[in-house]
Amino acid sequence: MTLTTVICIGMAGSGKTTFMQRLNTHLHTAKEPPYVINLDPAVLNVPYGVNIDIRDSIKYKKVMENYNLGPNGAIVTSLNLFSTKIDQVINLVEKKRDSFKHCIIDTPGQIECFVWSASGSIITESFASTFPTVIAYIIDTPRNSSPTTFMSNMLYACSILYKMKLPMIVVFNKTDVTKADFAKTWMTDFEAFQEALKSDQELNGEAGMGSGYMSSLVNSMSLMLEEFYSQLDVVSVSSFTGDGFNDFLDAVDKKVDEYDANYKAERDRILLEKAKAEESRKDKSLEKLMTDLGIKDKKDDKSKTTEDGADVLSDLEEGEHDGVVLRDEDEDTERVYTFADNDRTAGEINSSSASDLQMRYEEAFAKTAKTASSQTAENIAKYIRN
């Protein structure tokens, strides 16, 4: 059995938690109970059973008090603290992968706290690297009946898709209040969307430069999003009545196949490139360290050359220009000595002191040779004994 992760994301008030409750109930009714994770630390009551709850390990109010944060800052900080243990969460889910078909995850109502935070990326990447993962973007259908509001929501969905790089399902929720047929038509028929935009402007009495600019902008964005719409699966559900959840699960299965065929291969390629880049970085750091310490790689000794054609400094042959400058015999320069006794010739070697110097050389040489001979004899005897 392959476990599929469904991450539910949506604007505040879009019915995300109610959607999670109905999806949980629907799967239990189908004898396929899901593994449920709650990532909203600020929620007071969760209307469904949870296997892993962020509130069990992170106390939201304590985070606000300890770090002097507001509501959104405390949510981000709570997610940051939770993400440091995401490996343990993944291990818990992996142990249950043979017992569950779906893992559904509820996220904070403040969508930007999860989507645009580092912790949200870490959590999403961790699940997507281990299990087939699908993003369910929940939309409040009644509040998107205006073309401009609808377009704003679609742009947000587009940014989430390209931020997370995972298969996405657009879920029009609350269809028991307003049917989502108009939204599906706007996504497939550009002329129908233009007519709706024109009618909305006339109905609201908008006129002037502002409305003209807004109309042109929204029309341009709708053309730009045409390719985006083609990559989406769109379903309409009612979390209140339970309508449309079979269609949603069918869309999830379709997106799992898409994940295996396209997204998984792309993610593996990205991970491989990251591994190669890290290996290259390590090699460069090691090479720089060896250079700083003056250590040369043997394989590079023969390949490295100096500008004048010599391999290395030690390969330069001694000769006429080996750096030693001989004293000019004709140079008549008086030597200057600075001895304490002010005797300018006390330390000078001349013909009268040469014999004494030679005698000292011979005595030192004899003493050194004797010591070396005795040490060699001792080493030989030790070797024979062993």
> What pLDDT is attached to residue 380?
55
The pLDDT, as a whole number, for residue 318 is 46
Q: Which of 54-58, 94-98, 359-363 has the lowest mean pLDDT?
A: 359-363
**pLDDT value of position 56:** 92
The arithmetic mean of pLDDT across residues 329-353, rounded, is: 45
Q: Report which DSSP code applies to 239.
A: T
Read off the pLDDT of each residue in 244-260 and give the average, rounded to a whole number. 92
345 against 46, higher pLDDT: 46
Q: Is the pLDDT of residue 365 over 50?
A: yes
For residues 11 and 155, the answer to whether their CB atoms sit within 8 Å is: no
Distance, in Å, from the CA atom of 141 to the CA atom of 318, rounded to the nearest integer, reads 89
Query: Is residue 342 pLDDT above 70, yes or no?
Result: no
User: Residues 261, 266, 271, CA angle at the centre, nearest 5°?
Assistant: 135
The confidence score (pLDDT) of residue 37 equals: 95
Separation of alpha carbons 52 and 34, rounded Å: 12
pLDDT band (50, 70, 90) for residue 311: very low
Residue 381: pLDDT band by 50, 70, 90 thresholds? low
Question: Which residue's entry shows tokens 């993003």?
Answer: 135
Q: Is the pLDDT of residue 22 over 80?
A: yes
| Amino acid letter for position 61 | K
As a residue count, the chain comes to 386
Q: Find the mean pLDDT for residues 243-250.
A: 95
- pLDDT value, residue 357: 57
* Residue found by looking up tokens 């912790």 in the block: 119
Least confident span in 257-261, 282-286, 374-378: 374-378
Backbone angles phi, psi at 37, to 5 degrees: -130, 130
Entry pTM:
0.68
Find, among 272, 262, 42, 43, the residue nearest to 134 by Cα: 262
Alpha-carbon Rg for the chain, nearest whole angstrom, is 40
Q: At a CB cut-off of 8 Å and minimum separation 6, what does 383 contact? A: none
Name the class of domain 4-204+218-255. alpha beta
208 half-sphere exposure, CB direction, 13 A CA radius: 4
198 confidence band (pLDDT: 50, 70, 90)? confident
Continuous segment of H or E residues that includes residue 64: helix 60-67
Of 72-76, 227-231, 258-262, 275-279, minimum mean pLDDT range: 227-231
- Which of the residue ranges 49-63, 190-204, 345-359 would you say has the lowest mean pLDDT? 345-359
> Backbone phi, then psi, for 147, in 5-degree steps?
-60, -40
Q: What is the largest CA-CA distance in the chain?
A: 124
d(CA 226, CA 187): 7
pLDDT at 248: 96
Residue 349 pLDDT grade (very low, low, confident, very high; cuts 50, 70, 90) = very low
CB 161 within 8 A of CB 225: no
In sequence order, what DSSP letters do the residues of 23-58 get, joined into one string? HHHHHHHTT-PPEEEE--TT-S--SS--SEEGGGT-
- Quickly state the pLDDT bin for 333 (edges 50, 70, 90): very low
Report yes or no: 245 and 237 within 8 Å, Cβ to Cβ: yes
Does residue 92 carry a pLDDT above 90? yes
Residue carrying structure tokens 């003056």: 294
